[in-house]
Chain A
Amino acid sequence: KQEVTQIPAALSVPEGENLVLNCSFTDSAIYNLQWFRQDPGKGLTSLLLIQSSQREQTSGRLNASLDKSSGRSTLYIAASQPGDSATYLCAVPSGYSSASKIIFGSGTRLSIRP
């Protein structure tokens, strides 16, 4: 049974710092891995989607890596800004298909101090 874990549960850093959020999963046979952002009381915003055959994806100041063999993914945020404050969720499909139910990590609550 796939399980997704995220550490740390919460992180507070001063503005401008680079930071790394971690995600681990127990079953390495994943179809893809997705990072989401969730603002308080809001829905999910998809940040990056890494397919099984890929090792990383980049979008602006965000870079996500994927190492299936070790069951890990990291989300790197460069030059953090107060607007980056949110909860970040890592998620993988439970089966080897985009139509499989999604298993979410518990999230990392990020706070960027001005």
Chain B
Amino acid sequence: GAVVSQHPSRVICKSGTSVKIECRSLDFQATTMFWYRQFPKQSLMLMATSNEGSKATYEQGVEKDKFLINHASLTLSTLTVTSAHPEDSSFYICSAPSTDTQYFGPGTRLTVL
């Protein structure tokens, strides 16, 4: 089946720094990818829709200047958490749709100290 990868799987950073997370569709192309966030003991909530060659669409309450999304190719979307703070610590998961369903990446655990 289709595979979506994320890198890094885990990152620890200091408050105020920026962190970039990559999401790749390994064996299919995706004009759209989705970024989700999961806080401890909660479900996944959609943050934004990444669109290849155009601006991302953000869900209500998600700051677009803080969570920068770039979808420069049909197989890669990046999420950059700018000026990270401890409250941004979370599990970030991306997904990419294929012909029949969506495939999820393994997730990135971000810890901001």
Contacts and interface: CB of A to CB of B under 8 A. Distances in A.
A41 to B, nearest CB: 7
Contacts of A36: 104
Interface in A61-103: 89, 93, 97-103
Contacts of A41: 91, 109
Interface string A52-63: 000000000000
Interface string A30-59: 001010100001111010010100000000
B43 A102 contact: no
Contacts of B102: 93, 98-99, 102
B43 A99 contact: no
Interface stretch (B12-20, B75-83, B93-101): B93-101
Q: Is the interface of B mostly helix, strand, loop or mixed?
A: strand
B44 interface: yes
Chain A residues touching B, range: 20 to 34
B67 interface: no
Contacts of A105: 43
Given A43-B107, A44-B104, A101 B43 contact: no
Contact of A44 (B93, B100, B101, B109): B93
Interface residues of B, number: 23
A101 B46 contact: yes
Interface string B71-93: 00000000000000000000101
Interface in B37-56: 42-46, 49
A39 B104 CA distance: 15
Contacts of B97: 97-100
B95 A102 contact: yes
A51 B44 CA distance: 22
A61 B97 CA distance: 27
Interface of A: 32, 34, 36, 41-44, 46, 49, 51, 89, 93, 97-107
Interface of B: 32, 34, 36, 42-46, 49, 91, 93, 95, 97-102, 104-107, 109
Given A32-B101, A105-B43, 4 more contacts: A34-B101, A43-B107, A51-B100, A102-B46
